[in-house]
Structure 1
Amino acid sequence: MSTLVRPYGDTTGDGMVQISFTLPVPHSKRAEGAAQQLAAKMGLDPALVVHARPMGPDFTFFVVYGRVHHLVDLDAVEVIERDYPLLTPKEVNAAIKRSLSRRLVVLGACIGTDAHTVGIDAILNIKGFAGEKGLEYYREIKVVNMGAQVSVPQLVDRAVAEQADAVLVSQVVTQRDAHLLNTREMSAAFGEAFPAEKRPLLVVGGPRFDEAMAGELGVDRIFGRGTTPGEVASFLAHRLAS
């Protein structure tokens, strides 16, 4: 089986793709022409503007459909594979009880100006996500959810007070790389507040993170979009109760 693949649109290997973007120009025929020109410079040939919608008086949102001639080599794709087994809640609880002889303390928050708690709540709250119960459901895990717009000093102070084993941070706001700046600030603050062997496990998640950047950002794990509570619980058990 060939490891070289091309995008699929109408027929196999036709290279057709759909992209969307916004230009800071009022909606007009000229704006559509500008969108078509941009798409052509991006390698779409032909580039067809299939949707254009005003976004207020000064911006226009576009969807462009066209063909690319690039190939993807599947053998050259590098991703972060899960290196731990997925456990059931019962297995996670048993591992924690066996190894720690106490409840595992997890502190969660959205830091900086980020007010989007849907992600952190999906992982922590008992209602969970994708048919899985959140970490509050786990008998051997104590969850402290600090909510949104938590400053880094507040997060560190609470981690000290709660004697947290792990700190989970969700970041959705990404303008001007706010999620990266906040994560670096957090990891630096925890590095100053704790000896290396005493620092809680630092885990961040959000739809715009690159999972391969954990080392660069100074955290122990990055989880991307679609992560379930069971994946996070299994990782915590793997790292803290194995």
Structure 2
Amino acid sequence: MTIIRPYGDTTGDGMVQLSFTLPIAHDKIADGAALQLAKKMGLDPAMVVHSRPIADARDGRSGFTFFVVYGRVTHLVDTSLVQVVERDFPLLSPQEVNAAVKQTLHRPLVVVGGCIGTDAHTVGIDAILNIKGFAGEKGLEYYHELQVVNLGAQVTVPALVAAARDHHADAVLVSQVVTQRDAHLHNTREMSAAFREAYPRDRRPLLVVGGPRFDESMARDLGVDRIFGRGTTPGEVASYLVHRIVRKEAA
């Protein structure tokens, strides 16, 4: 079956739940405004199942309200039309990654990573790079054939390019969590442009970005080699590096 409908209480009932914030004080008018928006979005019938004020840090008063709305939609989803970026490389164990790098490069594979722009959220980059890792997997620092340079947070693009040059990076990993006003997209385009200007095409390090709100299909548009979304593990990143760098060197 390729045609599906949302499920809430019973199969095929079309019930969905969504949350949003409106710039309005928390009262009955606010609840009515939320219902009006929900109906314009196609939920009919709709109900506000939760609403609460969001306090203003300056004076404790709130001009914003958070809502959770529950309702029925009539829209159908055709899964045959869904397009995703499939993993096109095998998942390798740390031992297989180390063996491939050692046998092919005969030197450590150098990875430089960090958060660029004003992004100070290092949880994502640390999950991939730090030895403690993520989801039960050790980070890239655990791989003895990988040399990892973690630049941390709020790294400028020129500083990232300079670090990549200084360490002769094979790959540059950038994490972007802050997405207000599409900052993650602007920062990524700025980074890719800087690397294209700083390196000859055949010597540029592999550019990899990750974050919870990236569209993995936008790699070409953003000028990078690969985008990893939420839930990515260190093993996936290490396997990709072997797929793109080590296998290319061997060829």
TM-score bucket (shorter structure): over 0.9
Q: Secondary structure at the match of 1:191?
A: helix
Aligned with 1:112: secondary structure?
coil
CA distance in 2, matches of 1:99, 1:17: 51
- Distance in 2 (CA, whole Å) between partners of 1:200 and 1:47 is 51
**Map 1:204-223 → 2, pairs under 5 A:** 204-223=209-228
- 1:183 corresponds, among 179, 188, 192, to 188
Match of 1:26 in 2: 25
Choose from 112, 115, 136 the match for 2:117. Answer: 112
Q: Which amino acid aligns with 2:29?
A: R
Secondary structure, counterpart of 2:31 in structure 1: helix
Q: Percent identity?
A: 76
The residue type equivalent to 1:189 in the other structure is A
Cα distance in 2 for partners of 1:119, 1:185 equals 20
1:109-146 deviation digits (Å, cap 9, x = unpaired): 00000000000000000000000000000010000000
Structure 1: segments with no counterpart, 5+ residues? none
| Structure 1 consecutive aligned stretches of length 4 or more whose deviation exceeds 3 Å | none
**Structural RMSD (CA):** 0.4
Please, which of 139, 150, 153 is the counterpart of residue 148 of structure 1? 153
Q: Which amino acid aligns with 1:93?
A: N
SS, match of residue 31 in structure 1 = helix
Counterpart residue type for residue 126 of structure 1: I
Shift of 1:49: 0.4
1:93: which partner in 2? 98
Q: What's the offset of the Cα at 1:187?
A: 0.1
**Worse-matched range after superposition: 90-99 or 109-118:** 90-99
Deviation track 1:95-119 (CA, whole Å, cap 9, x = no partner) reads 1111111000000000000000000
Q: How many residues are treated as equivalent by the alignment?
A: 241
Secondary structure at the counterpart of residue 110 of structure 2: strand
Residue aligning to 1:195: 200
Question: Partners in 2 of 1:13 and 1:231 — Cα distance?
Answer: 35
Deviations 1:142-165 (A, max 9, x none): 000000000000000000000000
Alignment of 1:32-181 (within 5 A): 32-56=31-55, 57-181=62-186
Aligned to 1:5: 4
- Cα deviation 1:189-212 (Å, max 9, x = unaligned): 000000000000000000000000
For the residue of structure 2 that corresponds to 1:197, the secondary structure is: helix
**TM-score, normalized by length of structure 1?**
0.99
SS of 1:37's equivalent?
helix
Aligned to 1:238: 243
SS for the counterpart of 1:19 is strand
Write the letter of the residue equivalent to 2:95. K
Amino acid at match of 1:211: E
Superposition deviation, residue 18 in structure 1: 0.4
